[in-house]
A and B are shown apart, each in its own frame.
Chain A
Amino acid sequence: MSSREKILAAVKANQPEELPLPDVPDFTGDGSLEKFTTILEGIGGKVVPIRGVTHLDVVIQELFPTDERVASTLMASTVLVDALTPIEVLAAVDVAVLRGEFGVAENGTIWLPEANMLNRALPMITQHLVLVLNHEDIVPTMHQAYAKLGSVGDYGIFLAGPSKTADIEQSLVIGAHGARSLTVLLV
């Protein structure tokens, strides 16, 4: 008997009688932009309202004046990135400007599906991450978030702020391995 069969047989023999699966109610809450912004800023994200995406390059230039290598789906890139981009090119990206699908007010998280990433590694390997988010696309809690998604696709991240750690004596340090900063541009 293979391990698979052995394990499944042991599970079948040892599991208790079937217990009911509860329905998850649609707990809702404050889905306001204010709540989303407060929480996101509380976890180290920066929120900047902008008037539209037409002059995104100017905004990025103002926010990151010394960073030259920008990869984006929304504006002219100085580094072209796709799924096959070599690692050393990815590693040199200063700023990635990508579209966030929607935000969750209760925890400041933003859904970032693979389709918006250019390359799966880009949101982490870039030094700075900028997500452009429509200010109307905010849901109150994770219940509405997963309901809205329906499917998580091949790969996707709920992203809440910049990479961080508190592994040295519980001191919070922003910029562990992923992006050193997260800026959300609200359209």
Chain B
Amino acid sequence: MSHSQRSDIFLLDAERTTWHDETLWFVRQKRDKAVYALPEFQDLRELASQIKNHTLSKLDFYLTQFEEAAKRNGVQVHWAADAAEHNTIVLGLIKKHGATRVVKSKSMLTEECHLNPHLIKHGVEVIDTDLGERIIQMREEAPSHVVLPAIHLKKEDVGDTFHIHLGTAKGNNDPQQLTEAARQHLREKFLAGEVAISGVNFAIAETGSVVVCTNEGNADLGVNLAKVHIACMGMEKLIPRLSDLSVFTRVLTRSATGQPVTTYTSHFTKPAPGKEMHIVIVDNGRTKQLGRPDFRASLKCIRCGACMNTCPVYRRSGGHSYDFTIPGPIGAILSPNIDMRKHASLPFASTLCGSCTDVCPVKIDIHTQLYKWRQVLAEEGEIPASKKWSMRLLSSVLSRPGVYGLGGKVARQGLRFLPHGLTHAKGYNPWAIARELPEPPKQSFREWYNQQQKNS
């Protein structure tokens, strides 16, 4: 299924679509308020962009520097070329400790690697501890947003889910009470957790520290109660210096939710005495993207989700319509690198309005990359036949003024006499599904212009 076909499913519920659209736009407005209150915000964006550009240009150096520093801190560093190797490493560490109970804080990387099914298959209980992630884990769904994983759900959905899984009263849809039920349920899991897995927001090359940002405190609670901490990171999470973190902590949450900063900005450098800390550095297609000059800037992404909140297509099609771990505009430029054929429709899920680029805190040229992916996909023959042939037809018409003039005349006359059901037939004119064709004018511009010339 293509993005537009999956969007059709989301759009069946008009009320929910409107709610989704308005709620995400509200988050975008909160972002604006936070950002406009900071006079140097544009300078910070530029700095964040330059720091990331620099880091990517010396990534081999920073990866090595980070590894050395982390090892000095008593942290064990592992390297995974792809998702399978990542999952094998993580499972191996869990098995080595004879553990079966794992608590996990939010990590889009482990979603990308499909870690949970792998662990479950091998007899490990893995509990997502971020509230949104726990909700969708119970529902066996994928996150629909990088920051707001359960934004596709209404409180009634959560109430039903908790009724089934946590035994809350049927019809109790109060967010406060549902959150309290989840708190009690997850406390038990935290206290029993033997291994804690976390994502990484930033990895500081000079100190070997990893920084994790949460509002709930679930990463810190899980990590500090378990014997073993496994931090999983994509290799693009690096920043050179501790001082660079000041730039990123100032732009990340303001861009994401409009908060001045996340509740917990936690710096993990050394394991507590008697405990273990591991860092798994993952490639999984990132080096390939680094080698594509037109698309490497996508690796600057800090996963704030601002491009999703602002995107008129994302807001009205929902995260699941992208069928990729990272949805929205940024997902649409990351996904073809992973599987061009499977995700061929995503770069077309955009109006190219450029709003994503405007709000991106690290200045990724998202809409330009969307446009460039379309060129690549067309060259590789990965666009649907209907698009390919209609483009070919259009190009042959537009390059022949005579044919173009005749075509216009036929259309102007035809639209006047043909029945509405025929000109607006859904089957071959999808443009007209929700739109009316304009009244055909009596003459074309060319005819009018020639007439003016004659009269003058």
Contacts and interface: CB of A to CB of B under 8 A. Distances in A.
Interface of A: 2-4, 6-8, 10-22, 24-25, 27, 39, 43, 83, 87-88, 90-91, 106-109, 119-121, 123-125, 141-143, 145-147, 149, 151-171, 173, 175-179
A168 B179 contact: yes
B215 A164 contact: yes
A59 B351 CA distance: 58
A158 B158 CA distance: 31
A149 B269 CA distance: 14
Query: A interface, by DSSP: helix, strand, loop or mixed?
Result: loop
A176 B218 CA distance: 8
6 contacts: A20-B54, A83-B273, A166-B257, A167-B130, A168-B178, A177-B183
Interface string B256-270: 010111111111111
A119 B148 CA distance: 31
B172 to A, nearest CB: 12
Given A15-B60, A109-B261, A124 B158 contact: no
Given A14-B290, A120-B224, A154-B269, 15 more contacts: A4-B79, A7-B79, A7-B281, A11-B63, A18-B54, A108-B260, A108-B261, A146-B242, A155-B266, A156-B267, A160-B262, A161-B263, A167-B148, A171-B155, A176-B218
A55 B257 CA distance: 39
A143 B246 contact: yes
A2 to B, nearest CB: 7
Interface in B19-49: 23, 26-27, 38, 40, 43-44, 47
B175 A173 contact: yes
B218 A14 contact: no
A181 to B, nearest CB: 12
Contacts of B120: none
Interface string B52-76: 0110111110011000000001000
Interface centre among B27, B60, B131, B215 (most CB of A within 10 A): B215
Contacts of A106: 38, 250, 260
A165 B288 CA distance: 36
A123 B217 CA distance: 9
A8 B72 CA distance: 20
Nearest to B19: A169
B217 A83 contact: no
Contacts of A154: 73, 269-270, 272
Interface residues of B, number: 91
Contact of B287 (A11, A21, A123, A176): A11
B267 A159 contact: no
A165 to B, nearest CB: 5
A7 B58 contact: no
B293 A10 contact: no
A152 B242 contact: yes
Contact of A87 (B57, B73, B85, B191): B191
A43 to B, nearest CB: 7
A7 B283 contact: yes
B108 interface: no
Nearest to A172: B175
A109 B81 contact: no
A5 to B, nearest CB: 9
A25 B46 CA distance: 12
Given A7-B235, A164-B216, A167-B149, A24 B244 contact: yes
B176 interface: yes
A16 B56 contact: yes
Contacts of A27: 40, 43-44
Contact of A107 (B148, B150, B261): B261
B249 A158 contact: yes
Contacts of B240: 21
A2 B266 contact: no
Contact of B266 (A13, A24, A90, A157): A157
Nearest to A40: B260
A166 B150 CA distance: 10
Contacts of B132: 165, 167
Interface centre among B64, B245, B246, B288 (most CB of A within 10 A): B246
Contacts of B216: 163-165, 176-178
A14 B291 contact: yes
Nearest to B86: A3
A16 B297 CA distance: 11
A19 B57 CA distance: 6
B57 A18 contact: yes
B246 A155 contact: no
A14 B240 CA distance: 19
A109 B265 contact: yes
A155 B269 contact: yes
A155 B217 contact: no
Interface in B400-430: none
Nearest to B225: A121
Contact of A157 (B53, B260, B267): B267
B296 interface: yes
Contacts of A10: 283, 287-288, 290-291
Contacts of A141: 246, 250
A8 B292 CA distance: 17
Q: Which 10 A-B pairs have the closest CB atoms?
A: A178-B217, A14-B291, A167-B132, A107-B260, A176-B216, A121-B224, A10-B287, A171-B175, A154-B270, A4-B79
B224 A176 contact: no
B265 A170 contact: no
Contacts of A165: 131-132, 179, 215-216
